Amino acid sequence: MTIFFWIIQLIATPALSPLCIGIIKKIKAKFQNRQGASIVQPYKDIWKLMHKDEVISPDASWIFRSAPYIIFTTTIIVGLSIPLFASFLKNALTGDLLVVAYTFALGTFFLALAGMDTGSAFGGFGSSREATISALAEGGLILSFFAVSVIIGTTNLFTISRAGILLSTSFFLPAMLAFIGFFIILLAETGRFPFDNPATHLELTMIHEAMILEYSGKKLALIEWAAANKFFIFAALGVNLFFPYGIAQSASMGALFIGVAALLIKILGICCIVALIESSMAKLRFFRLPDLLIISFILSAVAIGLSQTL
């Protein structure tokens, strides 16, 4: 039964992540009084790109050619390293919060390198902006993890989700502060408003899109799929570390059904919040983004301090 759970865990991230992007786009279309594309359109886009030819710059090195595979692989590894619908699974090798954080950083590193590899001006400034945001977001991400880690007394994500910190009312305030800090990092790391506009190709606003302009065909499909995986993983981390309600505590089919249903409902809530934010505010200027990331860092630091006094 445990092996079956691991198989579900393996396929859940790549199978469900494009659906999250489709839901966000559909909700945003409704807010804008448009019909919008189907929520399964991201699956169709990935399928279409998988069957298209590639155009690769003659200046591209092995970094450009291998980066999409490395980035996609890192998201699959992280998807196996976090609690999605079951907290009883054991993953002492990659389930540590620091391993997850720096596996994400590895994917970001190769994405930035790939953006600069062809010598494109767009790729260069996109990589520069991505490196700046990632460096500033790293502290807030790790501190938000540490906030719950200090409360539970472990750095293993499966153990943290099994403990369920928000089930204890004494830690409600620090947990909520850490979650708000984490949510800001979620928006930054996944290229959502107010940090980036995932639907634009304008020179003054794009960050993620600037780094992947040189990609086409299968490699572009992998990068877009990996970006969807990253959003799904961050959303799953947020809901299962801070709101672990419904997560399976035992290896039974009933617990599996409840865990999957709870995960889908909670991630749908995250998608609705992200769509609401993107429909109600404009993208911030790049030089105002560090202020927002510092707020995330401070909120998580305050959460750690409060948890020590309770």
**Is the pLDDT higher at 250 or at 271?**
271
Maximum CA pair distance of the chain? 60
- Highest mean pLDDT: which range of 73-87, 115-129, 206-220: 73-87
Average pLDDT over every residue of 211-235:
92
The pLDDT value given to residue 9: 87
Average pLDDT over every residue of 164-173:
72
**Is the pLDDT higher at 93 or at 239?**
239
Task: Give residue limits of the domains in the chain.
Answer: 2-309
**Is the pLDDT higher at 203 or at 105?**
105
The pLDDT value given to residue 232: 96
**pTM here?**
0.93
The pLDDT value given to residue 283: 82
Sign of the alpha-carbon torsion through 173, 105, 73, 272: positive
What is the Cα–Cα distance from 175 to 164, expressed in whole angstroms? 10
151 pLDDT higher than 90: no
